[in-house]
Amino acid sequence: MKQPILYIIIPCYNEEAVLPITSGMFLDKINQLAGEGKISPDSRILLVNDGSKDKTWEIICDLARKDEHFLGIAQSRNRGHQAAVLAGLMEAKDKCDITISIDCDGQDDINAMDRMVDEYLGGCEVVYGVRSSRDTDTFFKRFTAEGFYKLLAWMGVEVVFNHADYRLISSRVLQEFANYKEVNLYLRGMVPLVGFKSTSVYYERHERLAGESHYPLRKMLALAFDGITSLSVKPIRMVFFVGLLIMCLSFLGILWAVIAALMGKSVAGWASLACIVCFMGGVQCLFLGVIGEYIGKIYLEVKGRPRYIISDRTWDEDD
């Protein structure tokens, strides 16, 4: 069997503290896999600069000058982790046989790549890297993350439990994935939609080697909300059925009020009226917010704006 060309896709945002450390680890892994005959010596490490404000791009350019295994592309501005991963995948899909996307911080076990490549050589087109445990997470993060995956599954979104964006994808799958034109990206929910034979490998996640996390609670919540609203219409259906239930209860309340008035047992009071008005007003605002979120996403999608723009490359594009 022909040795596959592997491109390791690494999104980078303000990673000047950790990139000098992990770049050597990725290079060693490429050389090891090539030395074992599992991948081609023409395999590469593609670093995607996502509009970093520090010296990340300078470090990427320096790595590319010193070793041909390193390639780099820079987005014109910061567009987020998902867009950076997508940019790397689309840039690599015509140059390689397989890609492995992984974060730059060294938390994901790089040795899991060996098993990913083995699974690909065994016939799998997509291999998901799945955390075997969340012992390194705080209780709050572990509880909310696992609850989120269960919520997605309940809403009909096809996701792999405890899988983030550490995965192997063949170029064959990427060619089909390129037909998905969503602007609102949630890759861990979109990749399973493509299909093809897939499997999972399990690994232990480590602490970040250097620098600070660029995914605070605010960004994690935004990504979670994108995952729900981009891949499921169940919230809209829930709004309809809850609205229907409230309408039925309101009808019963009106019926009770009319009967009480006819029997002369009605009591004038502002408390009950205020409670009903506040409750109905709150429910309406909530439902309008959910519907508005979907309308906003439609608004962004119909514009057809590019999901990423590459401003620089470390190689001559004509070559």
- Tell whether 226 is covered by a domain: no
Q: Hey, CA dihedral for 27, 31, 36, 39, is it positive or negative?
A: positive
- Together in a domain, 69 and 180: yes
- Tell whether 118 is covered by a domain: yes
226-261 tens-digit pLDDT: 666 666 666 766 776 776 677 666 666 666 666 666
Give me the number of domains the chain comprises. 2
- Tell whether 292 is covered by a domain: yes
pTM of the model: 0.71
In CATH, what number is assigned to the domain containing residue 80?
Answer: 3.90.550.10
- Together in a domain, 49 and 197: yes
- Tell whether 134 is covered by a domain: yes
- Together in a domain, 270 and 192: no
- Together in a domain, 249 and 298: yes
Under 8 Å CB-to-CB from 53, ≥6 apart: which residues?
A: 14
- Tell whether 222 is covered by a domain: no
Tokens 């269960």 belong to residue: 150
CA angle, 27 then 33 then 39, to 5°: 110
- Together in a domain, 157 and 248: no
- Together in a domain, 123 and 238: no
The domain in which residue 247 lies consists of 234-303
- Tell whether 188 is covered by a domain: yes
- 3-class state of residue 268 by DSSP: coil
Listed residue (89, 20, 87, 24) closest to 50, CA to CA:
87
Are the beta carbons of 52 and 14 closer than 8 angstroms? yes
Alpha carbon distance, N-terminus to C-terminus of the chain: 28
- Tell whether 20 is covered by a domain: yes
44-101 tens-digit pLDDT: 999 999 988 989 999 999 999 999 999 999 998 888 888 899 999 999 999 999 999 9
